[in-house]
Structure 1
Amino acid sequence: MKMNRTTQISFGLIALFLILMAALHLGTFLLTFLFGYLVLRLCAYNRSKAVSVAAYAVAVVVILGGLIYFASLAYRTLPKIADTAIPAMVGFAEKNGIDLPFTDYASLKSTALAEAQEGIAIVGRYAGLASIQSVLALAGLVVALGVFLNPLWAVEQAPQPTNAYEAVTRELSERFRTLYDCFARVMGAQIVISAINTALSALFLAVTGYPYAVLLVCLVFLCGLLPVVGNLLSNTVIVGVGFTMSPRMGVTALVFLVVIHKLEYFLNSKIVGHRIKSPMWLTLVGLVVGERLMGISGMILAPVVLYYIKVEASRYPIPKAADEHAEGLEAAEAEARSIE
């Protein structure tokens, strides 16, 4: 397949779009747009857009309500867990000769904020960032609904492109369709892995009688949506809560989570690796770059963008050397005939 000029322009525009998303820190907007469109596609019912929109609205309200509940529960509970878990972990570390960078909750907060500049109103800054991200998330959900209701780039569109604008926008539609397909494929695999991990973790928490089980189960699922590093975050909290029960329970939780981590690594290779066929080191590089550019949303989008680049580039294979040689001979022969 050869790339014509219109296709080249569309690739340039989609590259510019992704660069602007990163430069302007609009990862939340892009992520919620793709996720919202995914929910809309799942809610599609017998081609009735009214029913689909109603189901989408219900799904968005339920998801947002769940996230608000989880955030409120985490805000109230996590400091209590830290106040109890950190002294227990420090005591266990001292007994076994392990050095930790903190000794209590206050020193942990100081360690976490060591790189923050003095004099910055952290609460106000985070509140402002949260407000901006909330607006971007809402905008992404609204744009997803608009694209679902009317995906055309113009009010009227001819069956065949009659000008450059229509030709380029058709190619752009194909680029965005491929980007969405990549997102659905990667995110679908990540949700499956997170659901399996959450189910096994929930079973362990129920059998061992863990406190704060609801919070921990929600944390495991949400963190599981972050490739590779997500489970490290949730596992740290689970082990910490285990130490509030007893050092033995903390170690037991650590051993169990190591086994789960090995299982998840296998699932990643079988599910995500089978779907996107991307090496782990490349995914890790993408996660680091995505986090630096767009934060958590960039980490979620990194495997999607990597897979998208691979899919698009794979559509235009490089001709084999033999084919190139044959084409060169044919051109030379044609030129010789024209001279004669």
Structure 2
Amino acid sequence: MMLTSHARLQVPDWIANYLPVDAEQMKDKATQLMQTHAAMLQQGGKDAARGFGHVLIGMIVGAIIAVGVPRTTHRLPLSTALVTRVTRFSEAFRRIVFAQVKISAINATFTALYLLVALPVFHERLPLSKTLVMVTFIVGLLPVIGNLVSNAIIVGISLSVSFGTAVASLAFLIIIHKLEYFLNARIIGGQIEARAWELLLAMLAMEAAFGLPGVIAAPIFYAYLKRELVYLRLV
């Protein structure tokens, strides 16, 4: 428990009172938290399993449609409209994927500057820094969730070095991601031919309606909606 002992010496007393003294106390606290939030953990597991099932079924249905749809030149109006909308939606999805690759690369670049340049300047260095940069790029391909995962990993490893390093890492990640919100909106907006404020407004509306999943889905659905409006000559 050298980590918590070191942290208790660097934080105010009112914070130190909440830190565990030894491994046994930490174990008891973790057990108590799990018992208190057992229903929440159970519901979270159900939601994760349900989400995985939806993704799996969607992949199966998509594969069946891709293989089983007859390649006929003549289609009835309903099938024509359906194929047109699916094509436009897939185009919107493709644009968002390319934009997300750019965003992940930029995020990994900023993370590399912090881990490989800024920290060594102050005589601090995280273990597996290069691996962390690679992980940041890979998980960054997942909108929103990827940043949460990479941030948790970086802050967790920073805690193994020192409490001050963890605070510095957390502050850097918060500041850089706040700035990236506007940059990301500009990159995605450029891909879907929408202004940054349009995309930010769509993300806020979807977040208010659906929470975190709404933020993730907002760029894709707004890109599709914008494309439909363009074809209808309404915008």
TM-score (norm 2): 0.67
Candidates 249, 257, 261, aligned match of 2:177: 261
Query: Could you list the per-position Cα deviations for residues 59-116 of structure 1 after superposition, in whole angstroms to 9, with x for gaps in the alignment?
Result: xxxxxxxxxxxxxxxxxxxxxxxx8877766664426x7x69x6456768877997x5
Report deviation, 1:223: 4.9
Aligned partner of 1:140 in structure 2 is 58
Report deviation, 1:168: 0.7
Candidates 196, 199, 209, aligned match of 2:106: 196
Say if 1:177 and 1:237 are closer, same or farther in 2 by CA, change over 3 A.
Answer: same
1-side partners of 2:11 and 2:64: how far apart? 55
Query: Could you list the per-position Cα deviations for residues 164-207 of structure 1 after superposition, in whole angstroms to 9, with x for gaps in the alignment?
Result: xx211110111111111111111221222112212432454355
- The runs of 5 or more residues in structure 2 that have no matched partner are 21-25
Candidates 153, 158, 171, aligned match of 1:242: 158
Q: RMSD value over aligned CA atoms?
A: 4.1
Aligned partner of 1:282 in structure 2 is 202
Pairs within 5 Å for 1:197-236: 197-202=107-112, 204-206=114-116, 208=120, 209-211=125-127, 213=129, 214=131, 217-218=134-135, 221-223=138-140, 225-227=142-144, 231=147, 234-236=150-152
Instruction: Compare relative contact order (CA 8 Å, sep 6+) and give the higher one, 1 or 2.
Output: 1
Aligned partner of 1:77 in structure 2 is none
Say if 1:131 and 1:266 are closer, same or farther in 2 by CA, change over 3 A.
Answer: closer
Query: Could you list the per-position Cα deviations for residues 27-64 of structure 1 after superposition, in whole angstroms to 9, with x for gaps in the alignment?
Result: xxxxxxxxxxxxxxxxxxxxxxxxxxxxxxxxxxxxxx
Partner SS, residue 146 of structure 1: helix
2-side partners of 1:306 and 1:234: how far apart? 26
2-side partners of 1:197 and 1:143: how far apart? 34
1-side partners of 2:180 and 2:147: how far apart? 9
Report deviation, 1:212: 5.3
Aligned partner of 1:168 in structure 2 is 78
2-side partners of 1:315 and 1:306: how far apart? 14
Partner SS, residue 211 of structure 1: coil
Aligned partner of 1:181 in structure 2 is 91
Would the aligned equivalents of 2:204 and 2:215 in 1 still touch at CA under 8 Å?
A: no
Percent identity over the alignment is 25
User: Which deviates the most, 102-111 or 205-214?
Assistant: 102-111
Would the aligned equivalents of 1:243 and 1:249 in 2 still touch at CA under 8 Å?
A: yes
Q: Which amino acid aligns with 1:210?
A: L
Say if 1:88 and 1:137 are closer, same or farther in 2 by CA, change over 3 A.
Answer: farther
Task: Please tell me whether Structure 1 or Structure 2 has the larger radius of gyration of its CA atoms.
Answer: 1
Aligned residue pair count: 218
1-side partners of 2:102 and 2:93: how far apart? 14
